[in-house]
Amino acid sequence: MCSIRRFLWGIPGVLSVISLCASAWAQMPMPVQSPEIQKDRQVTFRLRAPKATEVAVTGQWAKQGPIKMTKGEGDVWSVTTGPIEPGVWEYSFQVDGLSMIDPGNTAIKPMREPRTSILQIAGEPPLLTDFQNVPHGVVRQHTYFSKSLDRRRELTVYTPPDYDKAVEKKYPTLYLQHGMGDNQATWTAHGKAHWILDNLIAQGKAKPMVVVMMDGHAAIPGKADGQALFESNTALFQKDLFEDVMPFVEANYRVKADAENRALVGLSMGGGQSLTIGLNNPDRFAWVGGFSSAVPKNEAISSALNDPEALNKKLKLLWIGCGKNDFLIKMNEQFIEQLKEKKIKYEWNQSEGDHSWPVWRMYLSELAPKLFQ
């Protein structure tokens, strides 16, 4: 009897709490939908910013610069722009001079200082960067302890569509590196490397391969800067690659552990790392590539430059690309002239474009079919 009375006595209190919660819920603003992609590829961007005095959206597709937004009902700023060409684009909101991500969009570019959201417009017919109705591989995230660097680090690994079924099969490995502002997750989250490879493999244009994407920031910030930091970072990255990552990958994945089945490719900072390490170690990597690379100095690759005949015998492919409007184009052109002078074999793609991800996705789409053939 007492327990029943206590139960009945507690009901008004419970109902009061429920009523308060319902009231609070009703007063909460509804989530803002942003971006909203329409059938004609026009896109509406929205941001709730009650105290802002000026809001704009800056998009990679917008050559005219920031697009001003207007304040409407519920303190929501908005603008509709486009139609926007199919592709994977970066954008940010500018709120009273502060650059920020779109809080309504969960697609964020992985960066050391995240400030960029991702807008993907599907193509018709589908682009290589689009998710298509083909067999798909798996992207795995690993946290490992680097004994060589004495700290915890992370890497991302893509395995091709047939990997988990063809249990007796071994695969070649592409070590694929990001640039200075990004990290080990950027090539998949923003570069769409996994979908590019899924689609190329489905079309019979690329061989199934395992792709390893490391954190390229091996040096601890603040201990050096400029060229000294670049050289220190490359040396430490190589140490982690050789002593920790390659042994880890070759112990945990069914990969072929020889130079003819390993490629080392990167963009910008990662391109410099790949060219430096790859050209100095053709006994480990027979396929080397650099996209918009921070090219190495002569002394950093002296072993390759001093014995081009030996390098040519071991390398299957040295592939270099850079956009005509890239701020690194002159350095890359000078690097190509040096390779030509030393009679080192290479493929050179001086394309349209600047120092940006649309160019690097295109380069991966062009290079992947050449690897391990």
| pLDDT one-digit tens code per residue, 327-339 | 999 999 999 999 9
CA distance 276 to 279: 6
- pLDDT at 21 > cutoff 80: no
Which pLDDT value is given to residue 146?
97
Going by pLDDT thresholds of 50, 70 and 90, the confidence category of residue 230 is: confident
Residue pLDDT, tens place only, 183-199: 999 999 999 999 999 99
The residue that leads in pLDDT, 167 or 234, is 234
- pLDDT at 25 > cutoff 70: no
Please state the pTM of the whole predicted model: 0.90
Residues with Cβ < 8 Å from 61, sequence gap 6 or more?
84, 85, 87, 89
Which pLDDT value is given to residue 63?
81
CA distance 5 to 205: 75
Which pLDDT value is given to residue 286?
98
Helices 357-367 and 193-202: crossing angle, nearest 10°?
30
Torsion, Cα of 87, 88, 93, 98 (10° steps): -130
Which pLDDT value is given to residue 224?
56
Which pLDDT value is given to residue 8?
47
- pLDDT at 175 > cutoff 70: yes
Residues with Cβ < 8 Å from 134, sequence gap 6 or more?
161, 198, 199, 202
Residue pLDDT, tens place only, 53-95: 999 999 999 887 899 999 999 999 999 998 999 999 999 999 9
**Ordered structural domains, the chain, with CATH:** 36-121 (2.60.40.10), 138-370 (3.40.50.1820)
Share of the chain above pLDDT 70, in %: 91
